[in-house]
Amino acid sequence: MRIHLMASALMILCLRGLMAELPQIKPDVWEVKEAETKGFGAIILERTIRFHATSVEHAYLIRVLNEQGRNAVEFPKFLPTSTIEGRTIARGGVETPFKASSDFQTKALVETGKGSLNRTSVIPPGLTLDCVVQIQWTEQAFFGVAGPFWDYQVQDRVFSLGARLPTRRLELEVYDDLAWGYDLQTGPRGAQIVNGKGFRKAIFKEIPAYEWVPYSEESAKDNPRFVLYQQPRYLVEASQKGEKVFWEEVANHWYRPFYDQKIQYGKVWGAFSDEIRQGLPPSRQAAALELHRRLVARFLDVTALTPEELAARSEKQNKRKIDPRDFGEVLKTGETTGAGLHLLLWSLLGSAGIPAKPVFIVDRRERKLRPKECNIAQLGDWVLMIEQEGAPPIFIEPARRFAPPDLILPKFQGTEALALTPADPKWGYQVVKVPIQDGSRNTQVVKVTTIVGEDRDQIHLTSHSTGIKDWEERAQWWSMLPAERNKNLKEILEKRDAAVQIETATVGPYKRGPFEWKCDAVRERDAARHIEVNPFPLVDPPMDLPRDLPAQRQERIALPLLGLQEYQATIVCPQGFVWSGAPPIQRSNTFGEVSWTAGPGDSPSEIHVLLKVRTRTLLAEPSSYPEFKTFLAWVRESFSRTITLSRSSS
Amino acid sequence: MSRTIALLFLLLAGAWPVRAQFWGLPNWADRAVRDSATRMPPEGEDAWILLDQTLVSYRGAGELRKIHTRVVRVLTKQGRDEGTFLSRGFGKTVSKIQKLKGWNLRPDGSTRKIDRDDLVSIDADAFAGRTVSTEVLSAATLPDVEVGCIIAFESQETLKLPLGPVDLVFPLESHPIRRYILAVGVDLPFRTTSREELLSVRVDSRNLNAWASVIRQSDRLVELEDLPALPKDEPWAAAGLEQVPFVSLRFQDPALTVCPDLSNWDGYAKWIHQRYAPMIEKVQPVPMEGVSVRDALVRLSQWMRTSLVYRMVYLSPERGWIPERSTETLRRRYGDCKDLATCLLGGASALRLDGSPVLARLGQGRIPGDAPVNPFLFNHVIAAIRLDQSLEFPAEVQTPRGRFLLVDPTSRTTPLGWLPVGHRGARLMICTAEGAAWVEVPDSALDRERVEYHLEGQISSEGVLTGTLRILESADALGLQSIAQTEGAKGLKQHSLRFAPQALPAHWEVSSIRPPMRPEDPFETILKIEYSGARIQKGGEWELNLPALVRPPAPLKRTKAKRRFPIEVPPGVDYHWTASLKVGTEASPVCASGRLATPLREATWKASSQGGMLDLALDHRQKPVRWEIKDQDAGLQALRKDRSDCLRFLEEALAFQPGQGPATGHK
């Protein structure tokens, strides 16, 4: 209680002491027109961020012009903060300063027996439909300490400089007392850079408001960003010498030891290596893939077990600590980890004379690789690249279960990645392009048979997936036991159509073959003049179809993956009903192809419908937007088509 | 001897697995498991609560102590959530978990335990949008919970609420309960100003008979067996206080002079009036001289609706019940329901009008006439302005304590003199200085929800519709007016897309927005639209696919389980839709006129065609209807038939034949 009172008193003193220091507001703030807010109703006229070693200072001057803008003025909850001060000024000069006792709240964000992390909320008072809000605060931070000498847990913080409102002017200052590295990404609008005594400043103008757009990704927006990253102490010097020195140092002293050092081969390694490499195909890439196939057949990755596999093992087995570098033990037990599989493959490839390069890939949805940003934390997953003359390189993810290891997840395709080039005496590095795979291995085939009745339909549906589609669907049910998967599938399907009763739903077999799920269902039908049949009930459309798309677009277009979605429907009509046919759809543009055909089936009462949607462009520039909208409209049109059965006049 | 030893060994070995099955749990949990051992777990459930027991003791000086014990059997993976102890409190000054122990007895016989050191408290506002409060979520999770585990928790919590030692308990949960026990007692410490002989303890329960298979009750105990899980997926469920089981507890302690008198409603109402009175400061944010009282109140209300924002900010626990001063609400320019009501009464006092706060319950069923006295029955506050003579507003009510104008200042779009439709059927308690005045909200006091759509345009031979859709909305019936205010044209466009017949229309833009000039005027917006598929070939007919048409009700799932709640369908929005469309070719409606009448709705349809123009009109109104639990089969059948009839009606209304021809009307 006493500490709480003291903290409150200190807070009030800080606020009172500093209230007078808010900058003067220039009269021209009242000249701002609503059009400048670009439909947001408010605009950030000035914003300042100053980065020090142990604090970050923030200041905002916001002009509110209507109710929408008033609603948008909301400040984040502040983590440990030493000072917050602010005021609202309405047109006419009425000023409402922020009061400690009634406009702020400090509360524990998280509290455990070992301590707590507080947060402070500020609720700006006095907001009107025509006012100015001014606020500044200082938050505690810890950028004054470089990372420990040897710690694989480096971190970074990304500050996206776009806000929910448009920004007229932003000044970002970085002071020299920072021990973390930083990278300023100014975006296509650029920034004016000013070097001062003990600091550097970047001035941005006219930053648009951040808005989410369908089929876009963060890294493609080119919004200005500021990245602070923690540098391991021993790499600080190298980072100051430029990207070449830095990444060579990383290659040789950060990653190389994992591959070269402390591997305990054990007594039987030699025999094992010879035996498993026997009869490999002559081509490097085929040999690498075959070697990987043999490895996963021999060794269990205990970090990637399904729940039923875990349940079948004892607690002792599941809790056993595994050292991936102890090959002797791995050979004895047949168990390793994902990192262990990676190392095993690496070592065996080396023995087979197949040079493999470790490659560190970056998730395109969040960032792009920037080698000049000497920041290890920007690197994401790691794979092995196998090059071969006359063929594009393949990228093997050794630890991926239930999917071909050379399938690249779409979020990594079309990016640049950092490849290490093993050599003696010194490893090097290079930037490589991760290709966009053509999607031919990614398929989903849905087969539906609907026996139509006048008051209910019987539906039988199966879905088979391969490639990335297989992997994604399998991941959805990974953490469940078989009975739970079936129950979950039933719930998902019943949520999609309230008129449907799912009689059976089965997921799997889970561990082998293309991924499959199936169901039998009954759908009640209401009496109607015509019988309208949805050829493809209970399945999601081949692509996400947002309700609407913006008229214009600045961002690059990114599809989730390339592949083929095929839907085959057989509709068995009831007696006395006929179908008068429907014209086919056959469309194609740079984004892909959409075809819809329907015709008589094997018997007079059957109708066959076939819908195919193939996508072939993963990433496209905004100039392709009109084509993209057209493509989505085709998908919507074809997927929503129904078959209308009318009573026969005879 | 060796035979004896062998026999003893066999006996022990045989007994051991039975004992070992529940080894590791405390005795009270062990007993609960044994008591249910002969019963089958309920079918289709994710967890089964074997015991939920709470002992509530009054400790004097307004403090309650709750000792809670709970035993759960995890039946499916979704039931593993029961492995987390979760408690919502108002912050350390009001509520604190003093003790906690948890046990997880796993199917393999091993046990995991946690205690108070494992408790993590999280700011509850992190999950509450823009609300700022003192609320805290405290949680502790048992490790390694899986299907088949027996979970047990024992906790002790102390509470000292600003309203005193009172609570309202709802026994039903998302999982069924085998045995539920709620016991109250008095446990005064040695040094206390409270005197046990002067205390009054009240335990009132409602609606238990319909839910529990066995009920044992006394003046300090409620014991229930076999409570089902709270029903979900019951469409149109009348799930209010007249149906759900609840228990009201209160300890009336004369030593607590700052807490309300809950011996009767008058006592509580007076206490509320006394707490609000000093906060109702005279304020005049807009000029009110030289106009009639009626016009001055309208002016005040209009100013408040645009200038003050409804927002919940509670920097201390008392703020959940005590409002801010009127002047402070004006400084902040925001407030919750209590603050806005107090501010309005402050403005009314500048016109020399007295007023009182009114306690209400929104959205969770009306307060029954025989409800026990308990503050937690209410979740909303509005204002009542006392009138010596009528100002001829619909929301005026005459009570034994005088005539009042009821005003809900939290509704941005409801003009003064009406109440928003959320108060339909409600019982409100006006808290005057003399006591409580209960009123029933008359339907005539409610703002009338109405919407008109006017579509004009043309449909090409390829089925593309281009045109304008004009929407006139009253009483914020569709939420468009409030969306336009808070999110502008962009937000309005997004919300209006639900009227589009399909996703991704080629064009859908808001071309104008016109807020109401006078209270009785509707909110108007005009959309410019273009989309394909407006005309679909079906056999020898077309079917029109047009925006903003009435949607038929969703299909009802057939379930084996009987409903627990009555079926109650509220009245719907008055709906009027017209279209004038150039189709460029002769077409005759299959039905030139039609009428639909079911227990749930009435609708009429008119269609005419001349010279390539179609003129269409649809009027629709959803009617209020209720079926009690005993009539649920008839109700469900009526709901299904209503859907069928509605589908058929719309199908026939939108069907056209190419060329001229006789059109028939039908019923």
A112/B121 touch (CB, cutoff 8 Å), yes or no: yes
User: What are the C-alpha distances in Å from A198 to residues A335, A632, B514?
Assistant: 55, 53, 55
Rounded percentage of chain B residues whose pLDDT exceeds 70: 95
What percent of chain A stands above pLDDT 90?
A: 66
Q: Which domains are present in chain B?
A: 25-252 (2.60.40.3140), 265-445 (3.10.620.30), 450-666 (no CATH)
Of A127, A501, A546, the CB nearest to B333: A127
Contact A526, B644 (CB under 8 A): yes
CB-CB under 8 Å, B644 with A526: yes
Mean pLDDT over B556-578 rounds to 92
Ranges assigned E (strand) in A559-626: 563-572, 577-579, 585-589, 592-600, 606-615, 619-620
Residue B663 has pLDDT above 80, yes or no: no
Residue numbers in A near B134 (CB within 8 A): 107
Token pair for B615: 């003129």
Nearest residue in B to A528, CA atom:
B648
pLDDT beyond 90 at B313: no
Q: Report yes or no: B77 and B147 within 8 Å, Cβ to Cβ.
A: yes
Interchain proximity B557–A498, CB inside 8 Å: yes
Give the pLDDT mean for A122-150. 84
Q: Given a cut of 80, is residue A147 above it in pLDDT?
A: no
Does pLDDT of A584 surpass 70?
yes
Q: Where in chain A is the domain with CATH 2.60.120.1130?
A: 443-647
Looking at the DSSP bridge assignments, the partners of residue A135 are A60, A86
Q: Which of residues 455-494 of A touch B (CB under 8 A)?
A: 480-481, 484, 487, 494
* A532-557 pLDDT tens trace: 999 999 999 999 999 888 888 888 99
pLDDT of residue B127: 81
A630 burial via Cβ count (<10 Å: 0-12, 13-18, 19+): middle
Would you state the torsion angle of the CA atoms of residues B454, B456, B458, B463, taken in this order, to the nearest 10 degrees?
A: -20
DSSP-derived 3-state class of residue A68: helix
Cross-chain Cβ contact B502/A640 below 8 Å: yes
Chain B nearest CA to A139, separation (Å): 19
Maximal CA-CA distance, chain B: 113
The set of residues, in sequence order, having a beta carbon less than 8 Å from that of B34 and lying 6+ positions away, is B22
Q: How much of chain B is in helix, strand and coil states, percent to nearest 5?
A: 25, 35, 40
Q: Does A10 touch chain B (CB under 8 A)?
A: no
User: Looking at chain A from residue 112 to 171, which residues have their Cβ under 8 Å from any Cβ of chain B?
Assistant: 112-113, 116, 119, 121, 123, 125-129
* Test mutation, B119, B149, B324, B333, chain A, max A CBs within 10 A: B333
pTM listed for this prediction:
0.89
Write out residues 607-636 of A within 8 Å (CB-CB) of B: 629, 632-633, 636
Residues A281-293 pLDDT 10s: 999 999 999 999 9
Nearest chain A alpha carbon to B106: A315
Distance from CA of B519 to the nearest CA of A (A): 19
Residue A220: predicted pLDDT: 67
Q: Provide the 8-state DSSP code for B540.
A: T
Find the closest chain A residue to B488 by CA distance: A68
Alpha carbons B559 and B572: distance in angstroms, whole number: 26
Runs of H (alpha helix) within B1-97 = 2-21, 27-35
Confidence (pLDDT) at A155: 82
What CA–CA distance (Å, rounded) separates A324 from B580? 74
3-state secondary structure (DSSP) of residue B314 = coil
Residue A308 in contact with partner chain B when CB distance is under 8 A: no
Q: Is the pLDDT of residue A154 over 80?
A: no
Chain B interface, best mutation among A67, A122, A630, by max B CB count within 10 A: A67
CB contact under 8 A, A548 and B504: yes
Mean pLDDT of B209-232: 94
Per-residue pLDDT at B16: 39
pLDDT at B30: 94
Residues of A in contact with B502 (CB under 8 A): 636, 640
Give me A75's structure tokens. 């400040």
Residue A16: predicted pLDDT: 38
Compute the distance between CA of residue A399 and CA of residue A384 in angstroms, rounded to an integer.
Answer: 11
pLDDT score of A191 more than 60: yes
Contact between chains at A532 and B494 (C-beta distance less than 8 A)? no
Judged on CB neighbours under 10 Å (0-12, 13-18, 19+), B466 is middle
Quote the pLDDT of residue A5: 38
* Least confident span in B167-181, B264-278, B416-430, B506-520: B506-520
User: What's the mean per-residue pLDDT of chain B?
Assistant: 91
> Could you report the per-residue pLDDT of B32-49, keeping only the tens digit for each?
999 999 999 998 899 999
> What is the location of CATH 2.60.40.3140 in chain A?
2-231
Interface size A-B, in CB pairs within 8 Å, comes to 157
- Among all residues of chain B, which has the CA nearest to that of A582? B537
pLDDT at A144: 66
Return residues 44-73 of A near B (CB < 8 Å): 66-68, 70-71
Q: Name the DSSP class of B325.
A: P
Tokens encoding A334:
């047949």
Within 8 A by CB and 6+ apart from A567, the residues are A445, A446, A448, A535, A536, A539, A542, A609, A610, A611, A612
Q: CA-CA distance, A113 to A149, in Å (whole number)?
A: 30
Please tell me the least confidently modeled range out of A631-635, B9-13, B201-205. B9-13
Residues with Cβ within 8 Å of A48's Cβ and at least 6 positions away in sequence, in order, are: A57, A58, A59, A136, A170, A171, A172, A173
The answer to whether A166 and A64 have CB atoms below 8 angstroms apart is: no
Nearest to A96 among B132, B331, B494 (CB): B331
Tokens of B474: 């009253």
Q: Do B108 and A315 touch (CB under 8 A)?
A: yes
Q: Are B445 and B395 in contact (CB under 8 A)?
A: yes
Calculate how close chain B gets to A80, using CA atoms only, in Å: 15
- Report helix angle A269-276 to A338-351, nearest 10: 80
Mean pLDDT (chain A) is 90
* CATH code given to domain A2-231: 2.60.40.3140
Amino acid at position B62, single letter: G
Instruction: Give the pLDDT score at A586.
Output: 97
- pLDDT of A6 reads 41
Residue to test with chain B: of A65, A111, A308, most B Cβ within 10 A: A111
Nearest CA in chain A to B46: A484
What does the pLDDT look like over A39-83, one tens digit per residue? Answer: 999 999 999 999 998 889 999 999 999 999 999 998 878 777 778
Chain A positions touching B654 (Cβ under 8 A) are none
| Interface test with chain A among B77, B279, B509, by most A beta carbons within 10 Å | B77
| Local structure of B370: helix, strand or coil | coil
CB contact at 8 A, B548 and B577: yes
Peptide bond into A509 cis (omega under 30): yes
d(CA A625, CA B428): 56
Task: Report the residue from B132, B539, B554 with minimal CB separation from A646.
Answer: B539
In terms of average pLDDT, the best of A306-320, B183-197, B270-284 is B270-284
Q: Is A176 exposed, middle or buried (0-12, 13-18, 19+ CB in 10 A)?
A: exposed
Question: In A, residues 390-419, which contact B (CB 8 Å cutoff)?
Answer: none
Contact across the interface for A123 and B313, Cβ inside 8 Å: yes
Tokens 């991926």 -> residue: A400
Contacts of B409 (CB under 8 A, 6+ apart): B301, B304, B305, B308, B337, B340, B341, B343, B344, B382, B383
Window 575-604 of A, Cβ < 8 Å to B: 578, 580, 582
State the CB neighbour count (10 A cutoff) for residue B169. Answer: 17
Band the pLDDT of B9: cuts 50, 70, 90: very low
- State yes or no: pLDDT of A3 exceeds 50: no
Joined tokens for residue A561? 């993956």
- For B260, the 3-state DSSP assignment is coil
CB A589 within 8 A of CB A595: no
In chain A, residues with a C-beta closer than 8 Å to the C-beta of B560 are: none
pLDDT in tens, B360-401: 999 888 999 999 999 999 999 999 999 999 999 999 999 999
As a 3-state breakdown, chain A gives helix, strand, coil percent values, each rounded to 5, of: 25, 35, 40
pLDDT at B584: 81
Sign of the alpha-carbon dihedral angle for A308, A311, A313, A318: positive
Chain B residue with minimum CA distance to A631:
B504
Question: Which band of pLDDT confidence, cut at 50, 70 and 90, is reported for residue A19?
Answer: very low
Pick the CATH number of A244-434 from 1.10.287, 3.30.450, 3.30.460, 3.10.620: 3.10.620
Contacts of B591 in chain A (CB under 8 A): none
* Class of residue A212 by CB neighbours under 10 A (exposed 0-12, middle 13-18, buried 19+): exposed
Domain with CATH 3.10.620 in chain A: 244-434
Question: Which chain A residues are closer than 8 Å to B539 by Cβ?
Answer: 530, 578, 580, 644, 646
A153 confidence band (pLDDT: 50, 70, 90): low
Classified by CATH at the fold level, domain A443-647 comes out as: Jelly Rolls (2.60.120)
Query: Region B542-551: what's the mean pLDDT?
Result: 94
Is the pLDDT at A178 greater than 90, yes or no? no
Using a CB-CB distance cutoff of 8 angstroms, which residues of chain B are in contact with residue A529?
538, 541, 648, 651-652, 655
Contact A181, A95 (CB under 8 A): no
In order of A37, A379, B412, the CA distances from B488 in angstroms are 12, 41, 15
Dihedral angle, C-alpha A78, A80, A83, A84, nearest 10 °: 10
Min Cα separation B237/chain A (Å) = 17
Provide the pLDDT confidence category of residue A645 given band limits of 50, 70 and 90.
Answer: very high
Q: What pLDDT is stored for residue A640 in this prediction?
A: 93
Using pLDDT thresholds of 50, 70 and 90, give the confidence band for residue A139. confident
Residues 492-521 of A with CB under 8 A from B: 494, 498-499, 501
Predicted confidence band of residue A29 (pLDDT cuts 50, 70, 90) = very high
Say yes or no for a CB contact (<8 Å) between A629 and B504: yes
Burial B25-57 (b: 16+ CB within 10 A, else e): beeebbebbeebeeeeebeebbbbbbbbbbbbb
Bridge-based pairing of strands B380-387 and B214-218 is unpaired
Of B130, B331, B489, the CB nearest to A39: B489
Pairing of strands B450-459, B574-582: parallel
Question: Looking at beta carbons, which residues of chain B come within 8 Å of A103?
Answer: 332
pLDDT for position B357: 98
Which residue in chain B is spatially nearest to A479 when comparing CA positions? B77
Q: Which residue has the higher pLDDT, A17 or A277?
A: A277
Do A529 and B651 lie within an 8 Å CB cutoff? yes
ipTM rounded to 2 decimals: 0.88
- The answer to whether the CB atoms of B334 and A481 lie below 8 A apart is no
Tell me the C-alpha distance between A46 and A39, whole Å. Answer: 18
Instruction: Single out the residue of B567, B566, B572, B550 nearest to residue B643, CA to CA.
Output: B550
Mean pLDDT of the region A242-250: 95
Q: Per-residue confidence at A152, pLDDT binned at 50, 70, 90?
A: low
- Cβ proximity of A462 and A446 under 8 Å: yes
Q: Is the pLDDT of residue B667 over 80?
A: no
